[in-house]
Every structure is written in structure tokens, then in C-alpha cells.
Amino acid sequence: MIESNDASLVKQCLEGDVKAFERLVDRHQKTVFNVALRIINDYAEAEDIAQTVFIRAYEKLASFDPKHKFFSWLYRMAVNESLNTLKQRKRITELDESFVSGDKTPEEHYEENEMTRQIEIALMRLDPEQRALIVLKHFQNLPYEEIGFIFDIPEKTVKSRLYSARQVLRTVLLKQGIVANG
């Protein structure tokens, strides 16, 4: 189980085992990077955010509450760092249609489904918090409870904000000429 293994690695790290933290980074770096990339839409900045998140996690590991999942704690840091980076930019850029994920070759990206491309373009037109909610729920498949922990809001508020974010996304997709079912 990743959850209990994470807790064990955190304990080992707090006891001075630096290799334990390296294993935590290896296990979660791709996911943290992908969350930042989907929110920030800049490969280099997403790499910087991921690095910053792990540095801060290491520095604040003693304050980690083991009642929560370690990866949720990291997600919270990744989302917050990404949103802070966007605030510092004071602008939101649209997704470049030639955007290539770090996990795919240009050829693989080119062959990707048109609907997926349209959704990615539409996501970049959403408010950063709405985008983060949709990414965490629908791309990372996190439960409402964990999203609530990440945003420090009640589960009902997560559901309400996620509903609103979906409605905005639907409107954007309709404006792009994508017909919604139902």
C-alpha cells in the first residue's frame, strides 16, 4: 500500500534517513509535476514548482500530520504553489495549441483525440482555482474529501465549487462549438 509505505518513509526520514525522502520524491514527483503543469501551463515553471514543493516538504516534514495522506499534503503544496505563481504573473495565458505534454512525443500528442485538445484549451480559460478543482477531481481522480483538505474547505464546498467550475467549463466548450451531451 502506497499510503502506509509513505507513512513509513516519512517516519524513516524524520529519523534521519535521507534515502527515505528520495524514495518519496521518486514516487510522487511525476504527479506533483503534472498537477503544476496542468494549472500553470508552463513546463519550466512546473518543474520549478515541483522542485520547490519537495524542498518545502523536506523542510516542513516535521509539521506533517500523519492523520492525513502524505500525497494529499504534497498536492496541497503543489496547488498552492501553482496558484501563487499564477498570482505573481498577474495574467493567465491561454493554452498554446502546439503544447506538448512532458510525457508524450510530439507525434503522440498530434494523434491525441480532438475532444481532449478542446477540453485542455477550455480549461486554460477557467479561473485558476476552478481549473485546479477540475484537474484534481477529473484528472487526478481525488475524492472530494482530499480536495477539501488540499483547499482547506469543507467537502460540501468542494462539491459546490466543482459544480460551478463544470458549468463554466461547459459554457466555454459550447462557445468553442463543442456540443454537450445531456
Decide if pLDDT at 158 tops 80: yes
Task: Confirm if 33 and 102 have CB atoms less than 8 A apart.
Answer: yes
CATH topology of domain 2-175: Rna Polymerase Sigma Factor; Chain: A (1.10.1740)
Q: Cell for 171?
A: 459554457
Decide if pLDDT at 148 tops 60: yes
Q: Which pLDDT band, with edges at 50, 70 and 90, does 180 fall under?
A: low
Decide if pLDDT at 97 tops 60: no
Q: What number is the average pLDDT over the span 17-42? A: 91
Decide if pLDDT at 99 tops 70: no
Q: What is the mean pLDDT of the chain?
A: 84
Q: Is 15 exposed, middle or buried (0-12, 13-18, 19+ CB in 10 A)?
A: exposed
Decide if pLDDT at 104 tops 80: no
Decide if pLDDT at 153 tops 60: yes
Q: Which pLDDT band, with edges at 50, 70 and 90, does 122 fall under?
A: confident
pLDDT digits (tens, 9 = 90+) for 62-74: 998 888 889 889 9
Q: What number is the average pLDDT over the span 140-154? A: 92
Q: In sequence order, what are the residues at sequence separation of 6 or more whose Cβ sits closer than 8 angstroms to the Cβ of residue 126?
A: 134, 165, 168, 169, 172
**Quick count: other Cβ atoms within 10 Å of Cβ 63?**
7
Q: What number is the average pLDDT over the span 16-29? A: 92
Decide if pLDDT at 139 tops 80: yes
Q: What number is the average pLDDT over the span 148-163? A: 93
At CB < 8 A and 24+ separation, what contacts does 155-163 make?
158/133, 161/129, 161/130, 161/133, 162/133, 162/134, 162/137
